[in-house]
Amino acid sequence: MSEQKSLSVEVGAALPAADGAGGVVGVGVFTDGPRVPEALDGDLRELCERVTGEGEFEGEEGTTLLIHAPAGEGGTLRRVLLVGLGARAEFDAAAARRAAGAAVRAAKSGRAGTLHFVVPSSTDVRALAEGAHLGLYENGFYQKKDEEDSPRLERLTVIGAGESSVEKLERARVVAESANWARRLADEPGLSLPPREFARRAAEMAEEFGLKVESLGVEEIRAKGMGGLLGVGQGSEEPPALIAVRYEPSGAKEDDELYAFVGKGITFDTGGISIKHGLDMYEMKSDMAGGAAALGAVRAIAQLKPNCRVLAVVPAAENMPSGKSIKPGDIVRTFAGRTIECVDTDAEGRLVLVDGIAYARHLGATRIVDLATLTGSIIVALGSHRAGLFSNEDEWARQVLEASERAGEPAWRMPVSDDYKKRIESMIADYKNYGGRPDATAAALLLSKFAGETPWVHLDIAGTAWHDAPTPYAPKGASGAGVRTLVELVLSEE
Contact set with ligand BES (CB under 6 A): 269, 271, 287, 344, 346-349, 373-377, 434, 439, 462
Closer CB to Zn ion, 34 or 376, in the complex: 376
E strands present in 101-225? 114-118, 155-159, 212-213
Closer CB to ligand BES, 130 or 348, in the complex: 348
Distance, in Å, from the CA atom of 480 to the CA atom of 263, rounded to the nearest integer, reads 12
435 binds, among Mn ion, ligand BES, Zn ion, none (CB under 5 to 8 A by kind): none
User: Which secondary-structure segment (H or E) carries 205?
Assistant: helix 195-209
Q: Is 292 helix (H, G, I), strand (E, B) or coil?
A: helix
User: Do β-strands 77-86 and 64-70 pair in parallel, antiparallel, or remain unpaired?
Assistant: antiparallel
Nearby residues of 11 by Cβ (< 8 Å), 6 or more positions away:
125, 157, 158, 159, 161, 163, 164, 169
List the catalytic residue out of 264, 350, 423, 449. Answer: 350
Residue 476 annotated to the active site: no
If binding is defined by CB under 5 A, does position 318 make contact with Zn ion?
A: no
Which DSSP letter does residue 392 get?
S
462 binds, among Zn ion, ligand BES, Mn ion, none (CB under 5 to 8 A by kind): ligand BES
Distance, in Å, from the CA atom of 282 to the CA atom of 389, rounded to the nearest integer, reads 26
Closer CB to Mn ion, 172 or 347, in the complex: 347
Residue from the set 19, 124, 188, 269 that interacts with Mn ion by CB under 5 A: 269
Closer CB to ligand BES, 112 or 347, in the complex: 347
Q: Are 36 and 49 in contact (CB under 8 A)?
A: yes
If binding is defined by CB under 5 A, does position 488 make contact with Zn ion?
A: no
Residue 361 annotated to the active site: no
If binding is defined by CB under 5 A, does position 269 make contact with Zn ion?
A: yes
If binding is defined by CB under 5 A, does position 488 make contact with Mn ion?
A: no
Q: How many residues sit in the footprint of Zn ion (CB under 5 A)?
A: 4
375 binds, among Mn ion, Zn ion, ligand BES, none (CB under 5 to 8 A by kind): ligand BES
Distance, in Å, from the CA atom of 144 to the CA atom of 181, rounded to the nearest integer, reads 21
Closer CB to Mn ion, 348 or 460, in the complex: 348
Restricted to residues 297-356, the positions that interact with Mn ion (CB under 5 A) are 346, 348
Cα distances (Å, whole numbers) of residue 322 to 231, 236, 374: 13, 7, 22
List the catalytic residue out of 168, 200, 222, 276. Answer: 276
376 binds, among ligand BES, Zn ion, Mn ion, none (CB under 5 to 8 A by kind): ligand BES
182 binds, among ligand BES, Zn ion, Mn ion, none (CB under 5 to 8 A by kind): none
Q: 372-388 as b/e, with b when 16 or more CB fall inside 10 Å? A: bbbbebbbebbebebbb
Each residue 321-360 as x (binds Zn ion by CB under 5 A) or -, in order, gives ----------------------------x-----------
Note the helical H segments in 363-482: 376-382, 394-406, 439-451
Question: Among all residues, which ones are annotated catalytic?
Answer: 276, 350
